[in-house]
Structure 1
Amino acid sequence: MKKVIIPLALCLITAACGGDENDGKTEPEMKINSCYVVSSSSGQSENFSSPVGMYITSEAGQPYEGSGVWSASYNSGAWAMDKPVYVTKAGKVYAYYPYSSNDSPPVLPLDMTKQTDVLYSRVASPIAPGSVSLSVKLYHALSKLVVSVKGEEVTGLSLSSPVTCRFNICIGEFTDLQSGQVASTGGRLFVVPHVTVGKEMLITLKSGKQYTYSVDGTEFRAGESYTYEFQLNEDRDKLEILDISVEDWINDNNYNDYLRR
């Protein structure tokens, strides 16, 4: 009997040890409670569901657990990571939008011809084994131009400005700016923050007629919306400015819908 019992006991011990190895890590997982786009100094938008990139580093700035890149999406009433983040040590979380599986943070290439908004967390969220839940706040990195012409429909905007560049999501810095023509369909245009020199904005109406307006010397700042209101003169050959306003970028319904696609 002993010859049978001893091997059986060894088998049970081996199986138990093997089961422990398959249980996975026991460290706490990082959780996201909420994710908002800050629309002003004191306000924020509703939650949105688009995948958000998560660049996580150690306190020393090295990628967390190898790559350091994750994403999070809002599904069925809760935020979920694309793969678990086991919080084994203190670190920093930098959130950003849009996210691509090909991203290599902290510096990401931008192509303004795509007219995609760019969001980033501005300040890193700390994590540690005893603090794993996050409330993510995202801020606008670009400037927004909004143009309207009284009694007319604006079908296009164009401005010579940085068309490609690199954006550091950790410090909010734009580098390697290459100028070109940035255009959009409709009365809204996203541009990289910069100071214009001798530039004119080209405005196209539904009728097909085009008009220009000088924005020479304008400093477009990150997170600000620049609204230009015009009317046509009596001869309908020139635009007359009615009002120019600069305010914090406030998310409208179209923008929220865009994030939910």
Structure 2
Amino acid sequence: MFTIAVFPNVTKANIRAILERVLAFFADKKDVCVLLPSKEAALLGREEFGARNISQRSIDMALSIGGDGTLLNVCRRVYDQCVPVCGINFGTVGFLIDIELDEIETKLQKILDKEYRIEERLMLSGYVVHRGRKSYKGSAVNDIVVTKGGMARMLRFGLSINDTCIANYKADGLIVSTATGSTAYSLSAGGPIVNPLVKALVLTPICPHTFDIRSMVISEDDTIRMRIEAGHPDIFITFDGQKSHQIADEDEVIVQKAKNPARIVKFGDKDYYRTMKEKLWGHP
């Protein structure tokens, strides 16, 4: 039995119609079991597919229906299960997603026929050391960002890589990005585009108050430490722009390679550079 967990973004208009297409495709597949998170199942009137604690269930694949943000969220939800994640693009960009709306049935059949590959993408883990106590805060596929609130003053970063102090400087924030996330927030802040097959991290400051600090590309095995000084409590650590925790003045943030990678389903008709050209610059 092949068990697929479907994660629809219930905030999207007309998401029910796309979900119904997926359910209809699998309806006559006797060797396939389809599950939905119980909350989403109830909201979409499909309680018969609902499963509690789906992130702890034994599943073979996760299918997101939404945009890149939905896929990133699903990658974090199934992080401990290490299962492949496939996406149906029902968003505005869909840079990470390989199934467009007119391809749903064709690509779902390819999944059943095992005509796909799995790309393992580096994930990051973020920790906060508060008063000498280290606590895990979460993982991310794209980036972990330390930043100030909207009205707060700049932060001072004491930045170290492994055991070497690199710099002390003021900025609005600092982005630690994977190669996958190099086309997201880091790119908007002036960072480089890095092919996800390159085993690297990108450090990109947000509005640094100096000409000496620029975006850096470092090894994926490096450990980044940030000692934060602010003089105010409006400081946050954010994961993929979706999950956020407030941290305190003089806390230390540690970012390093996560134990598990994200496993993203890709098909043979997609190419990274073609996708980059189409999605980022709008050229066919």
TM over 0.5: no
Q: Which has more radius of gyration?
A: 1
TM-score range, shorter chain: under 0.3
Return the TM-score normalized by structure 2: 0.26
Return the TM-score normalized by structure 1: 0.27
